[in-house]
Amino acid sequence: SQTIHQWPATLVQPVGSPLSLECTVEGTSNPNLYWYRQAAGRGLQLLFYSVGIGQISSEVPQNLSASRPQDRQFILSSKKLLLSDSGFYLCAWMSGELFFGEGSRLTVL
């Protein structure tokens, strides 16, 4: 069966520090992968999606970037975090239906 892993689960970072969140999918090949952000009390905002290695589409202009170095690996990064980057980050993959990982909770202080 297919599973999706995200890490770290929780992190607290100072403003201006870098960020790297990692997501890997098991049990499938060439999945469509997504990064969503959920701010406190708000809905899911699509940040990036990828249909293949090296193919990234950005939905929202921000100081975040995404990369897909391998078929089943999706990374969300930032060079310098802002306070507004705080939130719950969710990786997901699509196979007819959208399946989510457990999320990474980021607090920027």
Residues in the chain: 109
Site string for another protein, 38-67 (x = CB under 8 A): ---xxxx-x--x---------x--------
Q: How far is CA 89 from CA 9, 47, 103, 105, in A?
A: 9, 10, 5, 6
Candidates 19-27, 68-76, 77-85, 86-94: pick the segment binding another protein (CB under 8 A): 86-94
Q: How far is CA 4 from CA 40, 42, 98, in A?
A: 23, 23, 11
Touching another protein, residues 1-30 (CB under 8 A)? none
Tell me: does residue 87 bind another protein (CB under 8 A): no
Q: How far is CA 85 from CA 9, 10, 30, 75, in A?
A: 16, 14, 29, 16
> Cβ closer to another protein: 47 or 108?
47
Tell me: does residue 102 bind another protein (CB under 8 A): yes
Residues that bind another protein (CB under 8 A): 32, 34, 36, 41-44, 46, 49, 59, 88, 90, 94, 96-103, 105
